[in-house]
Each structure stands twice: as C-alpha cells, then as structure tokens.
Amino acid sequence: SKKKFITKSGGRQMTSQGQAEVSNPEQSPKGTERQEGSGSGQSENRNTGKMLVGVTRQDKLETDKQRTQVNKRQHTTHLYATDNLIVRRGQEFQLKVTFDRPYKPSDDQFAVEFVIGGSPQFSKGTYIPVSVASDRQSPWAGRVVDSADNVVTVGITPAPDCIVGKWRTYVAVVTPYGIRRTRQDESRDVYILFNPWAAADSVFLDDGNEREECVLNEVGVIYHGAFDDVSERPWNFGQFDYGVLDACLFIMDKAAMPITNRGDPIKVARKASAMLNSRDDDGVLVGSWSGDYTYGVAPTSWTGSTEILLNYSSSKMPVCYAQCWVYAAVFNTFLRCLGIPARVVTNFFSSHDNDGNLKTDIILDENGRIDKQRTKDSIWNYHCWNECYMSRPDLPQGFGGWQAVDATPQETSDGMYRCGPASVQAIKHGQICFPFDAPFVFAEVNSDVVFYSRNPRDGTLEPVKVNSSHVGRMVVTKAPGQDTRRDITDQYKFPEGSPEERTVLEKAEEYGCQREKVTLPEADVELNMPLIEVRVGDDFELKLEFNNKSGQARTGEMYVSGNVVYYTGVTSSEFLFKTPKVTLDPMKGGQVGWCVLVTGFL
C-alpha cells in the first residue's frame, strides 16, 4: 500500500497524493502558511529527504508583455485600456509561475488560487484553487503547458458559468509544514468577463456580425425623432476606455449585489436596470424632463458614456441629467463592457400604460382639450430601451435570445424602478406570463389608444375614438457593421390586422392581461387631418377634411387644440384653440383651415 502522510493547514487536511483542499488564502489562521519572501525558499520533506519547491514569485502577467497580449487577443479583450489581464470565462488563458528551483511534477504540489469578494468560500464559488494535478478535481480546469528551468507555464480555464468580476490571484505550494503562498498584489488581479464566443456560456452569440457589433463596437447611433422623420444621434459607448470596466463593477458593488449572482446575466441585467437610474437606490443617472438643467448637464449635451460612468464611480453620487436615450446608451456600455451582447432599440409611438389594460386612455375635457389631471397614460413619440442576448434557462425552450431591458424609470417592478429582462420572443407571441415585466413591454408596442369625453347628461366617460394601429409603429436599431438602421418591428409583433396579431392578443388575455374592449357608436361623418411637413421657423397651414357618408345633411361642432408636446407625450403650452362649426350636404365633403404662425409655438 502507498505510504501517505497527513498534516493540518488552515483547518483542512492535505495528503501527499494531491487530494488536499488547499486552504483559503484570505481566511487561514495565523501560523498555518508562509508567505512569499518569508523564511528560506525551500523546505525539506522529512519523510523523503527531498527538497520541496518554493514559490519565489508569481509572474506579474503584464511583465511578460508578449504572453499578456496573446491572452488578450485570444480572448478578444485587447481593446481594454488596462495593464491587468482580462479574460473571458469558459476559455483557457496562460500565466507563468517562477519557482526557486526547477519544477518536478512527481514531487511538487502547487495550485493557482482565485479569490473574489470579501468572504471567499469554495462552496460558493468565490474561492477557486486550481491544481495542475490530473487527479485533482476543481470547478476550473488547470494544466501545465510548459516547464523550463524554474518557470512553469500554466493553462487555466475558468468555468463557463463562473462569477464575473475582478479576481485576486495567489500561488500556493503544499509542504509538510503548511502552505507557502505569494502575497496579494493588485497587479496580478485578473478580470473575468462573460464570453459570447464560448458555446457553453449563457451569453453565447453565434452570429459573428452581431457579436462584432453588439460586443466590440465602441460607437453607435441612437435613433429618435418621429416615425416619419427619423433622426440619428451618434454616441460613443466607450466600453474599453480606461476606468470604465472598474466603474461597471463598482455599480454592482454599489447595488450590494451578491457576489454569487454576478455570473448570471439575467440577474446582472435586472440589477443594472435598477442601478442605472437614481430613483430608489442612488443609481447612476438622474432623470429630468423639466427643461431646467441648471444643476447638471442637459440630456441633449451628452455624447458618450465614459464621462458619466467615471463621474459616478469617482463621486459616488448620481449624475445629472438623463432622458431615455441617455439611460439606454449608458446601459449599453455597461452590458458590452462586461461581455453581454447588447444594442439600443427605439420604439416609435411608444405607449406608457400605467394600469396594464393594454389601453392608452386619453381623457378630454368639455372643450376637447386633454384633461391632464385625469389622463395618466401617455404616448411617447419615441422611447429607447436595450436588448441583451442570453439564454433563459428559467423559461421554456425558445424564449432565449434577445431580451428587452429598460433603465428609464417609468413603473416599479418588485418595488424598484426597473424593467426586464423580458423575452422578445415571448412578447411577440403574447406569452406575457414569463418574467420579467413582459406585460409592460408588450403594452409599449401593442396598446390601443382610446379617447374619452364626458357625457354631459350623467358625467360618465364615453369613448369617442379608438386607434388600434398607432402604438408600436416601428422598432429600429443599428444594423451590424453598417451606419444604417434595421427595422426589427417584426421581432416584437405580427403585422397589424393579421390573424396572428389577433391570436397574440387573445393569448395575452389568457395570461391575465385585462384588455378592455371598446365599442364606438357608429359615425357617418369622417374626419381627416392631412399630415404636412413643416420646416422649423416657418408658418404652416392646418386643414381638416370632412366626408358625410349619410343621406342626410349633417352639422358638426369641433374643438381644435394645438399644443407643444414633448417626446414623452407630455403637453406644454397651447398655441391654437378653435371651435369651428360646419354643415355638410348628404354624401358631400368639406374642409376648414387656419394659418398657424410660428410666433405662436416657438
């Protein structure tokens, strides 16, 4: 039988056969280990008389510039502006360890230890000892790639579901008297990120063009404006800029996000959707739609994410100010920086449904104006959110892929202002029972717009107009590798009026969406207001066209109101109010019009 000796170190047993649980380097009792540089470099095995290897230093990774650059290029992390090694999980990287004599596999036992968080534990995946011994089990794979003189090149493969963040590293050598271990050195810390190139990673994206755009592209375009007049806003995401990666990790620290959750892209994206706004957790950005930006930067003045993130991480205070595209742009930087494929999307005519009834209720007063006190829902000219790519093992098969997430504070979810991740496939097919916040996103692209007026006889609200095709007119994002936009409306909804659309709405009702059906009284007079293009600074002519479809004369009384409207649907000053009356002969049409002066609305 093999002779075996057992010693105690740090409360864990170690054997000469390499089956030892190497003690946690940051929790070992005093006297159970010897740090690098303390005492002699070698120790004698009293049972065999052999001199055991002692570690003199762990190569500082960045010292070997060639090896570091090879690692970074193989892991597609060479664009990050930092000297520390940055790798992606589920993929091997190599480092060098220098001992005080040539390494002998038959005699020497050592492990490379990775530690993250304040109370690292092996059982929680926050303390990972990686042994190169073939009979040693570890969550991460380790092997000796090369051994020359006193230098050993070690290949290490982090688990494809390991925690994402900044890991501290040590080299530990097992001796009969305890463990010799290198001292902590921040220059040896290793950043481990999500890996969309690795099939075993939950963020794996097999489309190379999409991956190039949604992970590596540092600049982009955010679309805004109107459905029929789309404008572009260039943005520097800057996910590889100096300090941005640390700022993104700080956001998770500031949120007190459990270390053990940081390897799950679902939990990371959901936590970040709350932390990117400051409404309830002193997050990154303060939203403002007031027009008064005296104490900060106007949302339209931002052109990139780097300044915002570095400002937040250094001051530890929310940054002023943001609107939807700023939230989406900074969120995009956060996701791409950590290795989660992400893109900014824009929904034109986006509903903000407060009560989840799939209706945007617009209440008019007795003069035909929008009743601001009673109208809680709104329609934004456009709204920006993000999509991130990941598998969804918590959902049935087929609902992975692109997930909608939104950091703009609109409604609370589980007590916090956040939204998503919601499966885009689930939204398209009406499967809104699945987490997270699918009903809200579903309403943003599918809501009916219903206008109500008050019945003068009994005070009840009666519907006067319904528009079932206004909301979610177009959803766009930047096309991969091009400076053009891609229409992705069909990824969120079936064509208006199609049998599939009706089936989806019925499915949404089955899953608890109380979609109220509105029946309008029959009307035999049609009203139309032709759309016109108006140049900024010009007067324009407004026309209303009527068509009497009945065999009798009709007299119509109208209220025409013109308001300055923010892109969020909130109205400001009223520049036009008319109450014309028209009489129409049977089966005839007519029109009225006014000249609107620019001095009234600018």
From the annotation, which residues make up the binding site? 446, 448, 496, 501
Burial of 134 by CB count in 10 Å (0-12 exposed, 13-18 middle, 19+ buried)? exposed
Distances (CA, A) of 3 to 15, 46, 99, 173, 349: 10, 14, 27, 21, 77
Q: Is 324 a catalytic residue?
A: yes
Query: Rounded CA gap, 16 and 108, in Å?
Result: 9
Residue pair 385/408 in contact by the 8 Å Cβ criterion? yes
162 given a catalytic annotation: no
Main-chain dihedrals φ then ψ at residue 42, nearest 5 degrees: -125, 160
Stated as kind and residue range, the H or E segment containing 386 is: strand 378-390
| CA–CA dist 93, 95 (Å, integer) | 7
Question: What is the rounded CA–CA span in Å between residue 179 and residue 174?
Answer: 5
Q: Which of 248, 324, 384, 388 is catalytic?
A: 324
Please state whether beta strands 190-193 and 589-596 pair in parallel, antiparallel, or not at all (unpaired). unpaired
Binding residues for Ca(2+), as ranges, are 446, 448, 496, 501
Q: How far apart are CA 198 and CA 584, in angstroms?
A: 69
Q: Is 406 a catalytic residue?
A: yes
Q: Which of 377, 383, 384, 513 is labelled catalytic?
A: 383
List strand residue ranges (DSSP E) for 470-580, in order: 474-478, 485-487, 525-528, 540-548, 554-557, 560-565, 571-578
How many other C-beta atoms lie within 10 A of the C-beta of residue 489? 17
Which residue out of 224, 406, 429, 437 is catalytically annotated?
Answer: 406
User: How far apart are the C-alpha atoms of 485 and 232, rounded to whole Å?
Assistant: 9
DSSP at 296: S
- For tokens 């009903």, what's the residue? 439
**What would the two tokens of residue 271 be?**
């936590």
Just list the catalytic residues: 324, 383, 406
